[in-house]
Amino acid sequence: MLKSRIIFFIVLILLTVTCIGGCRRAGIWLVKEDEPPHADALVLLMGNFTDRVLQTADLYGSGLADRVIIAEESMGGYKGLTDRGVKIISHTSQAVSSLVALRVPADSITVLPGDARSTLDEAVIVRNYLGTNPEIDTIILISSPYHLRRASMLFEKAFKEAGLSVFTGTSGSGAYTDFNADRWWRSKEDIQHVLTEVIKIGSFMTVEGRRLKRE
C-alpha cells in the first residue's frame, strides 16, 4: 500500500513538472489586457479586491470612464455572525469606502445587489443590470492579472446568451501584485494561481458555461 502511494506521488510530481515545462506561456495567456480608449463603466470584480481597487481608482482618475459598477459579494459564513448582532463590514463596503478615499465620487459608484459567490455570479448580475441600461455598451473588467482571461470569457458568454452587444475590455492590477506571468512556475503562489485558473477555465468550458443559458 505504501509502495503504491509512493509511486502515485512520483507520477503526480512528474506529470506536474511536465505540464509546467510544456505550458510556460500559460501565465502570459491568462493575462488578457484589452483597454479601449474610453468606456461607459469600470466593473470592479471582487475577490482579492485590494489591488483591484487601486487599479480601478487609477483608471477612473485617468478619465477612462466616469462610473464604477460592483456586484455585491456574498458574505458566506459571516451571515451567522450578523444574525447574532455582530457588525461585519463586508468586502463590498470596504471596496466602496476605499474607492471614495481614493477620490472616486460615491455617486459614481453603483453597487448591484445579488450575493455573488463567483465570477459567473458577477457576470449574471452585471448582465441583468446592463439589460435595463442599454446606454452602457462598453465596459472594462478590472481584476488580478491571472484572472482576466477567465473573467472575459464568462462575461462575453453571458452577454452573448442574453443577446447584448457589449464590448468587454479588461485591465489587470499587475502594478499592485507580485504575479509574474513570464516566470510563474518559479513561485508557489503563482503556480497556484495559474493552475487554479486553468482548471476553472476547463470547468467553465465543459460544465459551468451551460448555466448561463439557464439564468
Q: Count Cβ atoms below 10 Å from residue 199 Cβ, excluding itself.
A: 10
Residue 146, CA atoms < 13 Å, CB-side half-sphere? 26
Q: What is the pLDDT of residue 123?
A: 96
Can you give the residue ranges of every domain in the chain?
Answer: 30-214
- Give residue for cell 491568462: 30
In this prediction the pTM is 0.86
Question: Residue 76: left if φ>0, alpha if ψ -120 to 50, beta else—which one?
Answer: left
Taking only the tens place, the pLDDT of each residue in 109-157 is: 999 998 899 999 999 999 999 999 999 999 999 999 999 999 999 999 9
Beta bridge pairs of residue 110: 69
pLDDT digits (tens, 9 = 90+) for 63-106: 999 999 999 998 777 777 878 888 888 899 999 999 999 999 99
Could you report the per-residue pLDDT of 13-55, keeping only the tens digit for each? 554 555 555 577 888 999 999 999 999 999 999 988 899 999 9
CATH number of 30-214: 3.40.50.620
In this prediction, residue 207 carries a pLDDT of 79
